[in-house]
């Protein structure tokens, strides 16, 4: 059997993180077991979006085809990206000529290291409109990014336009990835599993990469 390396690309869900609250519900001493109550914003931490998030159509997170959650993905090194810089087709380099229909893209920017700072949310590098249209024409399966959004969350016109272009082209958006620096191969198997929330506009997800 070929040895495989499994890399976790998921931020931990922890109390105090934006949109997350965890309360003790049961204790072993008083109730016989430990349990907590989780309060989760649907787009907190590492998460995936559904088209209904921007009402592109009425597809919800529980309706996304599970076959799409496992795919081949190319990893693009964008660690030299600047704050608020627009990511264009040119940034993809050689990957632009290699990626095929139905494959996914992971954009490694190192942005997850800024988690906990204002810059993480307010100065993120976003997907340009040009690149969004190109990704749609390429029929990309999943687009995974490290920032909490694919576009400037403080610019409602921009964030709406980019999400709309991607979702109208049936691209699944995964945001808030981490640990991409641990990937050593340019192409990996991506496994991205959102919580199956009935009628959900999005959900936290466990996302891993598998390398041969």
Q: Is the pLDDT of residue 1 over 90?
A: no
Tokens 């001493």 locate to: 29
Give the lowest-confidence range in 1-10, 68-77, 130-139, 169-178: 1-10
Tell me the C-alpha to C-alpha distance, in Å, between residue 212 and each of 74, 113, 157, 183.
Answer: 14, 26, 41, 11
pLDDT for 68-115, tens place per residue? Answer: 999 999 999 999 999 999 999 999 999 999 999 999 999 999 999 999
pTM of the complete model = 0.96
Kind of pairing, strands 142-145 and 104-108?
parallel
Q: Which residues pair with 35 in a beta bridge?
A: 26
The whole-number average pLDDT for the span 55-67 is: 97
| Res 2 pLDDT > 70 | no
190's CB contacts (< 8 A; 6+ apart) are 70, 71, 72, 73, 104, 106, 142, 144, 207, 208, 209, 210
Element housing 78 (H / E):
none
Domain 5-12+42-211 sits in which CATH superfamily? Putative cyclase (3.50.30.50)
Write the pLDDT tens digit of every residue in 123-157.
Answer: 999 999 999 999 999 999 999 999 999 999 999 99
Residue 69, φ and ψ in degrees, nearest 5: -80, -10
Identify the CA nearest to 132 among candidates 96, 89, 91. 89
Angle at the Cα of 26 from the Cα atoms of 25 and 32, rounded to 5 degrees = 170
What Rg, from alpha-carbon coordinates, does the chain have?
A: 17
| Location of structure tokens 């059997």 | 1
What angle do helix axes 156-168 and 129-137 make, rounded to 10 degrees?
A: 10
């Amino acid at each position: 059997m070929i040895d495989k390396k499994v890399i976790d690309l998921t931020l931990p869900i922890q109390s105090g993180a934006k949109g997350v609250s965890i309360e003790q519900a049961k204790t072993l001493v008083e109730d016989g077991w430990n349990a907590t109550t989780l309060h989760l914003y649907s787009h907190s931490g590492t998460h995936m979006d559904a088209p209904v998030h921007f009402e592109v159509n009425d597809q919800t997170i529980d309706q996304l085809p599970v076959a799409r959650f496992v795919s081949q993905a190319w990893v693009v090194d964008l660690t030299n990206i600047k704050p608020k810089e627009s990511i264009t087709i040119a940034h993809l380099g050689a990957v632009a000529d290699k990626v095929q229909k139905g494959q996914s893209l992971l954009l490694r920017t190192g942005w997850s290291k800024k988690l906990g700072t204002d810059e993480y949310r307010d100065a993120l590098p976003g997907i340009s409109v040009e690149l969004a249209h190109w990704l749609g024409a390429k029929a990309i399966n999943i687009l995974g990014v490290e920032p909490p959004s694919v576009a400037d969350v403080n610019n409602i016109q921009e964030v709406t336009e980019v999400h709309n272009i991607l979702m109208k082209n049936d691209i699944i958006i995964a945001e808030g990835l981490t640990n991409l620096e641990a990937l050593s191969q340019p192409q990996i198997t991506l496994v991205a599993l959102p919580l199956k929330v009935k009628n959900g506009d999005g959900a936290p997800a466990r996302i891993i990469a598998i390398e041969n």
